[in-house]
A = this chain, B = another copy of it.
Amino acid sequence: MKIKNHGQLADLGEFGFIAWLAKSLGQSLPQNITGIGDDCAVLPWKGDQKLLVTTDLLLDGVHFLKDKIAARDLGYKSLAVNLSDVAAMGGRPRWAFLSLALPAETEISWAEDFFSGWKSLSQKAEVKLLGGDTTRTTGAMVINVTLLGKAEEKYIKFRSGAKPGDIVAVTDQLGSSEGGLRLLLRSEFKNLCGQDEKFLLRHHFQPQPQLPEGFFLAHQPEVGAMMDVSDGLDSDLRRIMERSGCGAEVYLEKLPVAPALKRCCRKYGWNQEEVAAAGGEDYCLLITVRPGIFPALDRRFLRKFGRRFYPVGRITKKRGQLVYLKAGRPVTLQKSGFDHFRT
């Protein structure tokens, strides 16, 4: 059971820790249950319907900065990141449970704003808040959301569905949220009021969980693996590689980037490819698609959603190898995705 009996969690990193934990538990699960390792756990429910469960822990100072995010946006985003996990499996969200640790001196008006943001999204997504836990804290604010959803068994997509030859695609532009975060962390943040800056900040504060897109894509047999882009393409694609036992190559020129982000990259001296490939919290979907069918699926997606999705790479047989190509040549990225124990 022991992998290591000394050292610190920082040595393992978040994904190492999860792998260590899954081994330590040594649980045998029945075939009809999917546990640790995907965007949601998948449990038996009524007949062909499966229950999806996901949970996300958000801490002030780690996942958000209370003084730099409006309460309304924080309430919205706490739910949005969980909706995105259900979208990534092709499910419909249903019921939420919210644990909140707030400083006792929190203003009631702050809580009102938080819940008005939550409600604006929960009503749209038809999600009911059915319980949770509240407590005071003398330290950092804590938000934990557990979301339950449903999906028909045959229309659930997993991270394990990628095959060599599949085209890797994303359903939206990348890096806008990371651009917003970088602006947020600048000391002169409050004076940044250009249209481009507003665009990036909006993407950071109000990500759009792609529920209709996820539901649509889950119903397409040509889609292999699916997950959401939460930790960044670099990190998330590695999860698909791991679960599918394959490798991937990514064409840096093809990473879709919003014009506003391009301009801000020039203005602030950011490396655009790094922002797009490693920036987290875009909450669009990352999919792999059987190659022959890609153009037809792209057209169906366009008809349905009025926009295309973006091919950015290819699944390879080289297990565990993620190669970035620029003008056909392998290059090395400066920064990899977000790892919650190491960053």
Q: Is the CB of B135 within 8 A of A95?
A: no
B-binding residues in A (CB < 8 A): 2, 4-12, 14, 17-18, 20-21, 24-25, 27, 29, 33-36, 40-41, 43-46, 51, 53-57, 59, 61-63, 95, 97, 99-102, 104-109, 111-112, 115, 119, 128-140, 142, 144, 146, 148, 340-343
Closest to A43 in B: B95
User: With a CB–CB cut-off of 8 A, which chain B residues contact A8?
Assistant: 104-108
Q: Is the CB of A55 within 8 A of B128?
A: no
Q: Is the CB of B134 within 8 A of A340?
A: yes
Query: Of the candidates B35, B55, B104, which one forms a contact with A99 in the assembled complex, judged by CB atoms under 8 Å apart?
Result: B55
Q: How far is the CB of A212 from chain B (nearest CB, A)?
A: 23
Copies in the complex: 2
User: Please, could you name 21 A-B residue pairs with CB atoms under 8 Å apart, sorted by A?
Assistant: A6-B108, A6-B109, A9-B108, A17-B111, A21-B134, A25-B129, A27-B128, A34-B130, A35-B129, A41-B131, A46-B46, A53-B97, A53-B148, A55-B132, A56-B99, A57-B100, A62-B137, A62-B138, A97-B146, A101-B142, A134-B340
Give the most central of A36, A43, A128: most B CB within 10 Å: A128
A162 and B46 CA atoms in complex are apart in Å by 32
A21 and B145 CA atoms in complex are apart in Å by 16
